[in-house]
A and B are shown apart, each in its own frame.
Chain A
């Protein structure tokens, strides 16, 4: 093929891919990257919050290091972090939407302050969007060190390398505490302002 033919083909290929690349990836990405928080209106009495998403969202104490552990152990391969609307699945029914008062489906802004939304790949385990609203620190340590003792027939492996064996059971290391910090920070239940509802 001569130079002209090659350039013609290359621009055809570029156009075929460039259009969806621009419209489907770049524009939505930068729209989301530059979105500003939505303030609540005067009438909405929401205690503690002035804007949605709240700037403290997604970060709790040592959870940044906990996130690293969540990622390195591949948690997102079996656990999702997305509560789908009722038309897509019974996620709300299963109690994954958060506390009884605040339960709702996942919104894009719920991941504000995080680098990557671990929406997940498979659901071999529960959805973790709101695991922080339904679990205590002790429960999570127990699940992580000995999943079988919490639910029989669980497909979850244990993460005992994050624990030390003691006479009374499994004592968490700093890594385990960080991971649990991260899990306890999983609360996607900030009430929505009327304007985005």
Chain B
């Protein structure tokens, strides 16, 4: 279970929060002008990144405020927390070295280096 640093309350257990998925997807201001594909893009299509993802969280069993979190979805490390409306911080991307980034052998977190 993660610890999330709510920008309004401080560090709390993940159980107090709920995730609202990818952040910075703005609801279009001109829906009637969009075709079905464009509407589907807003409504359903997601980057679903492996690595650094900016996402929305809500302190649902706390202050009930929404805010943004930058988290590495490959390791679950939280790299930054920032409020709604703020620009996402530029972060050193620590994306996996290969697209999947898992050890090529076995299935533990085994270090492939012999040394």
Query: Do A and B come from the same complex?
Result: no
